[in-house]
Amino acid sequence: MRILLDDHLYDHAMLEAAESLPEVPAFVLTRFNIPMPGAREKGGFGDDARFRQWCVNRSRIFTEVCLPSLLSQTRRPTGWLLLFDETYMKETQRALKAIERFDWIVPIIVPTSGPIANYRQYFAPKINERLSDTAKHVVTIRLDNDDAISRTFVDSVVSYAQSALLRGAAAPFWISFPYGVQWDGSEVTLKLQNNNPFVSLVEEASRFRAGKATMAMSTNHGKVFVHGIVKTATARVPMWLQYTHAENVSNRKDARLLVFRDTREILGNFGLRL
C-alpha cells in the first residue's frame, strides 16, 4: 500500500519513473537523558535520586516502545544518534545493552552532567563521519526516547524529501506528518498536530561539512513554523506514536480524541506487539 498521498510536492509516479534520485541520508536524533534547560524541574525530576530512577524507567520504556519501532523500519536510517549523560551510565545500562550490537545505532556519551542548550556539537561530528562525498542533502529526524515512529516513517521522510527536491524545493525545509496517535498502554487514540515532536529537517550537506547545520533537535518543535518553511505531508496511516505515561514532562492524554477499535493493528504499524 502506498503510504503517502500525492500533493504539490510529492509525486509517487515521478519517483517511480526517475532515472536517479537525490541522495538523502537520514539520521534519527534522540536526547536520551540530556534534557533541555529547565526540563527536569518542569517534570519534577530535579532531585538527583528521582532523576536516576527516571533514567531506569526510561530505559525500560525505550527498549519496549522506541527501539522496536526503529528496528522494524522498512528503510533503515543512515544512523540513529543518542545522547547519554556519562553521570548516569549505570541507570541506562538496559538501553545501552539493547543497542550495542547494532552498528548504525550510535550512543554518544556526553562528558557533562545536566542540561545543555547546544546539541549540534555532539551530533554533527558523528553525522559527518557517515556522510558520503556525493551526498548533497541530509535529513535529520527528531525522536524522544519514549515514543515510536511507524515502520515506514524513515522511508516516507526520505521519499518526500527526494520528491520535493526533484520539484525544485530549496533546502532548508521541514517535513511534518500531522497524523499520529497517542497510546496510554491500553487505548490508542487519534492525535493531529502539525508542530509535533517528530518533525524532520532537510538541509544541504555542505552545512554539515562546514559545521553550520541546524538539525531537527536544535529548536523547539512547538515553534517550528517560526523557524522555517514546513512541508506538511499527508499519509494513509498514523506516522508517529506518543506513549503517555506517569513520567511525561509535557505529553498528556487528550480524552477528547477518537479511540481506535483495533489496538493490535495500530501498534503493529509501529513494530509493537501486545
% of the chain surpassing 90 pLDDT: 73
Q: Is the pLDDT of residue 267 over 90?
A: yes
Q: Is residue 221 part of a domain?
A: yes
Q: Please identify which residue in the block is written with the cell numbers 551510565.
A: 89
Dump pLDDT digits (tens) for 127-158: 999 999 999 999 999 999 999 999 999 999 99
Q: Is residue 2 part of a domain?
A: no
Instruction: Write down the H helix ranges in the chain.
Output: 12-17, 39-43, 48-61, 67-71, 93-99, 120-129, 153-166, 205-209, 224-227, 263-268
Dump pLDDT digits (tens) for 63-118: 999 999 999 999 999 999 999 999 999 999 999 999 999 999 999 999 876 556 67
Query: Which pLDDT score, from 0 to 100, does residue 27 have?
Result: 98
Residues 6+ apart with CB under 8 A from 172: 201, 202, 203, 204, 207, 214, 228, 229
Q: Is residue 19 part of a domain?
A: yes
Q: Is residue 192 part of a domain?
A: yes
Q: Is residue 186 part of a domain?
A: yes
CB-CB neighbours of 113 under 10 Å? 13
Give residue 168's domain range.
Answer: 12-268
63 — alpha (psi -120 to 50), left (phi > 0) or beta? alpha
3-state secondary structure at position 190: strand
Please tell me the total count of domains within the chain: 1
Q: Is residue 1 part of a domain?
A: no
Number of H helices and number of E strands within the chain?
Answer: 10, 11
Which CATH number characterizes residue 196's domain? 3.90.550
Average pLDDT of the chain, as a whole number: 89
Q: Is the pLDDT of residue 194 over 90?
A: no
Dump pLDDT digits (tens) for 29-70: 999 998 666 666 666 767 889 999 999 999 999 999 999 999
Q: Indicate whether this model's pTM tops 0.95.
A: no
Q: Is residue 58 part of a domain?
A: yes
Chain-centre distance of CA 194, in angstroms? 14
Query: Which pLDDT score, from 0 to 100, does residue 273 have?
Result: 86
Dump pLDDT digits (tens) for 220-250: 655 665 667 889 999 999 999 999 966 554 5
